[in-house]
Amino acid sequence: MKLLTIMSWVLVTNADVTRIDTVCNGPVINDVLYTEEILLSGLDRPYFLSTDYTTNTVYFSYSIYSNDTAFKSVKIDLNTKQLTYINDVKNGFSHCVSANGDVFIGGRDGIYKYDKVNNIAKIYTAKGVNVWTVFCKDDLYYSDSTNVYKVVDGKPSKFIEASKVKFLTIDNDDNIFYGNVSGLFRKKKDSKDIVFYKDTNAITLDGLATDLNGVVYVAATDGIYVVNKLKNDLKIYFKTTNDIFGVTFDVENNMIYSDELAVYKLRPTKYDECN
């Protein structure tokens, strides 16, 4: 079975120039050939992808000025492929969705809670703060240009000080993974000890995500990496020639990711699809 998959991949590779559809064009990961489906293209640098697992919808932002000074939030329903613009958030930048489907959007002047039925967003917390990233798990977390905060009942308190965190995720064992210009770090929720993973000379971080099994993935400029917690290390999951801007997962745990041009879904190629 494995051999067959690899053989058909070799055939497909040789036929590269004549390939016109999206089938059989993805990377080989752990001996499985994947197909990269384009979910959406035509938006500039889709960033900060986050999934609402209650509706199979992915939220992300994209750049609206070539100067890179402004962002806008949108959502794409993965079941219908319908795109919706979210107009109420100034500079909507980062997104997170709690397990019960509450959507929060971090922008230049605070964190908004999004009413997905009526497509309305209202300021929720961190009013007036330029929010760098938001993350939802049991509670809402966010960073500004200095600290990470945890929000309980709408009230923020300092959580990781002096960290300038750009990306954050929490896995199923309460490991907090976070990235800043110095690198990628891990910290247990109730411990002060910080484990260092990778410095940013080795890879350039663009996003962090935990899949449905609790495995942590890193979007970087040269591909997607997977975290190995036992070795406190990262290994390449698959290489790309384009910068990867964000990563998340759908309800079936298929990887969803973006580069500067498009948002993609990665799925195992079906048996016989490539013959």
Ligand X SMILES: *[C@@H]1O[C@H](CO)[C@@H](O)[C@H](O)[C@H]1NC(C)=O
166 binds ligand X (CB under 6 A): no
Residue selected from 181, 202, 253, 273 as contacting ligand X according to rule CB under 6 A? 181
* 164 contacts ligand X (rule: CB under 6 A): yes
Nearer to ligand X by C-beta: 39 or 160?
A: 160
CA angle 260, 131, 65 (to 5 degrees): 40
> Quick one: residue 247, left, alpha or beta (phi over 0 = left, psi -120 to 50 = alpha)?
beta
Give the interface size with ligand X as a residue count (CB under 6 A).
10
CB 162 within 8 A of CB 170: no
194 binds ligand X (CB under 6 A): yes
Judged by CB under 6 A, which of 182, 191, 221, 232 binds ligand X? 182
Contact yes or no for 121/86 (Cβ under 8 A): yes
Report the distance separating Cα 57 and Cα 35, nearest Å: 20
| Residue 163 binds to ligand X (criterion: CB under 6 A) | yes
Taking alpha carbons only, the member of 161, 99, 101, 90 closest to residue 131 is 90
**To the nearest whole angstrom, how small is the minimum distance from the Cβ of residue 76 to ligand X?**
25
Range 52-91, binding ligand X (CB under 6 A):
65-67
Choice between 141 and 257, CB closer to ligand X = 141
List beta partners, residue 34: 268
Which residues are near ligand X by CB under 6 A? 65-67, 163-164, 180-182, 185, 194
